[in-house]
Amino acid sequence: MIRTDYEAVRAALARRGKQEVLDSLERAHHLDARLRDIGTERDTLRAQVNDISKRVGQLRRDGDVQGAEALQADSRTIGEQERTLAAEHDTVSEALRQELLVIPNLPSEHAPDGAGDADNPVVTGPFVPDSFPDHQRVPHWETATALGILDNERATKIAQSMWTMQRGAGATMVRALCQLALDRNADAFEEIRPPTLVSTATLTSTGQLPKFADDAFAIERDDLWCIPTAEVPLTSIYAGEVLEQAQLPMRFMAYSPCYRREAGSAGRDTRGMLRAHEFDKVEILALATAEQAPALLDEMVGRVEATIAALELPYRIIEICTGDMGQSHHRSFDIEVYAPGADAWLEVSSISWFSDYQARRANIRYRAVDADGKPQKGTQLVHTLNGSALAVPRVWAAIVENYRNADGSVTVPAALLPYMRGITRIEPR
């Protein structure tokens, strides 16, 4: 696309409002041009060598040994030039690859323009009570510590800061939230239990590498990475494979622990459960055709919204503007819940459509058919979509604050009761 429609790509990426993106795009454009020039120069040199080879043969047949040897010397000089070009080709090709890896996806034409998160429009809600009583204005970390269901002090002793540990009913509620999310999506999504350590290639496919390497936990000895989300292994289940159009859309869901360094977040939202190095999450993901993707995006947003609504938490849905959009995102929505104790809107889910950006990296294709079911020539890239069906930490925190009673206890939301082993109210142990 950069080669054939550079101005359109530049205009689309300019909507992200980041000069470094346009600089990277321009470098890629020049590198690609140089790569094609190298190819032309090598073809010219090879044609010269072939021509010389024919002439040398004729000279030898004519008995002109001296003339043949002179031409062979010219051929060796051209061969050196070709080897120099071959080395430059490899260098330029790798430089181009590295530039392409950090160029973000093109925003959807329907994505709202904006410079940053302050420009993200609210598209649904907010569904919030007119007021909150004082007993709900207590931060969850104070309530949870008093109830004995959150023990971050000992988690820090076991590991480091920004690791959390839930205890008793708090730990039960973590699993209850995950099971609720799995059950609510089991009607349409195949449950997967993927590896939580993945290769560099797998993490690159979803766009986390190379740009977000500093935010990932690496196991360098084995060239493995701890997943930041189950999106990573789920996206690559069919990496390098060709699917049939009839198989699409394919839908997967997975519970997994997630690991993030949260680089640069020291001292920012690190109390309680708001930001941690490890947390539990249920992810939903789909592979689809370009035509199926918009409706799937709406469906996935609706599914996550319905789960948050079932927990009876105050929430709103915002659409992510171009200036706040993630590296791989084509169009994206966030669901936020309000935590009265923290007095903040907390992002609990991001549901995104990546167009063919991730599939291009992972090489996931399908054989298309026309309206009559007749196979079309070649293959096409699938489109990928994913969302957090439920990310535990902030939902857990919002429950503790919104369901806090005047006596300091916490009522269990009705939607979680089937998973709480009879616990209806969390009281001091």
Q: How far apart (Å, rounded) are the C-alpha atoms in residues 58 and 361?
A: 50
Mean pLDDT of the chain: 95
Using CA atoms, how far residue 412 sits from 62, 395, 404, 417, in Å, is 99, 13, 9, 7
Question: How far is residue 35's CA from residue 360's CA, in Å, rounded to a whole number?
Answer: 21
Query: Which tokens belong to 342?
Result: 């923290």
Identify the CA nearest to 209 among candidates 98, 323, 106: 98
Residues ≥6 apart with Cβ < 8 Å to 76: none
Q: What pLDDT is stored for residue 265 in this prediction? A: 56
**Residue-level pLDDT at 416:** 98
Grade residue 263 by pLDDT with cuts at 50, 70 and 90.
Answer: low
Tell me the C-alpha distance between 128 and 316, whole Å.
Answer: 9
Report domain extents, the chain.
6-102, 117-426
The pLDDT value given to residue 414: 98
128-162: pLDDT as tens digits:
999 999 999 999 999 999 999 999 999 999 999 99
Please state the rounded mean pLDDT for residues 405-411.
Answer: 98
Give the Cα separation of 65 and 67 in Å (integer).
Answer: 5
- Dihedral (CA of 93, 99, 101, 106) sign: negative
User: Could you name the CATH architecture of 6-102?
Assistant: Orthogonal Bundle (1.10)
Asked whether this chain's domains 6-102 and 117-426 adopt the same fold, the reply is no
pLDDT, residue 65, reads: 86
Residue 57: its pLDDT value, please? 87
Identify the weakest region by mean pLDDT among 18-22, 78-82, 105-109: 78-82
Pairing verdict, β 242-244 and 365-367 = parallel
Structure-token pair, residue 93: 């090709």
Tell me the per-residue pLDDT of 7-62, one tens digit each, with 9 for 90 and over: 999 999 999 999 999 999 999 999 999 999 999 999 999 899 889 988 988 888 88
pLDDT above 90: residue 428? no
Q: Which tokens hold the place of 35?
A: 């790569």
Q: Give the whole-angstrom CA distance, residue 256 versus residue 191.
A: 11
Any long-range contacts for 73-81 (C-beta under 8 Å, 24+ apart)? 75/49, 78/45, 78/48, 78/49, 78/52, 79/49, 81/45
pLDDT digits (tens, 9 = 90+) for 178-227: 999 999 999 999 999 999 999 999 999 998 888 888 899 999 999 999 99
Q: Which amino acid would we find at residue 423?
A: I
The pTM assigned to this predicted structure is 0.91
Residue 298 structure tokens: 């709406």
List the CATH code of the domain at 117-426.
3.30.930.10
Share of the chain above pLDDT 90, in %: 86
What percent of the chain lies above the pLDDT cut of 70? 98
- Helix H, strand E, coil C: the string for the chain is CCCCCHHHHHHHHHCCCCHHHHHHHHHHHHHHHHHHHHHHHHHHHHHHHHHHHHHHHHHHHCCCHHHHHHHHHHHHHHHHHHHHHHHHHHHHHHHHHHHHHHCCCCCCCCCCCCCCHHHCCEEEEEECCCCCCHHHCCCHHHHHHHHCCECHHHHHHHCCCCCCCECCHHHHHHHHHHHHHHHHHCCCCEEECCCCEEEHHHHHHCCCCCCCHHHCCEEHHHCEEECCCCHHHHHCCCCCCEEEHHHCCEEEEEEEEEECCCCCCCCCCCCCCCCCCEEEEEEEEEEECCCCHHHHHHHHHHHHHHHHHHCCCCEEEEECCHHHCCCCCCEEEEEEEEECCCCEEEEEEEEEECCCHHHHHHCCEEECECCCCCECCCCEECEEEEEEEEEHHHHHHHHHHHCECCCCCEECCHHHHHHCCCCCEECCC
pLDDT computed for residue 267 by the predictor: 53
Nearest to 31, CA basis, from 85, 83, 99:
99
CA distance 318 to 337: 11
User: What pLDDT, on the 0 to 100 scale, is given for residue 429?
Assistant: 79
- The 10s digit of each residue's pLDDT in 347-404 is 999 999 999 999 999 999 999 999 888 999 999 999 999 999 999 999 999 999 999 9
The pLDDT value recorded for residue 125 is 97
Kindly report which listed range (261-270, 326-335, 353-362, 379-388) carries the lowest average pLDDT score: 261-270
Mean pLDDT of 242-255: 98
Tokens, residue 98:
């590295």
| Residue 289: exposure state from Cβ atoms within 10 A (0-12, 13-18, ≥19) | middle
In this prediction, residue 107 has a pLDDT band, given cuts at 50, 70 and 90, of very high
Nearest-angstrom CA–CA distance, 327 and 102: 8
Q: Region 72-88: what's the mean pLDDT?
A: 92
pLDDT at 210: 87
pLDDT at 176: 98
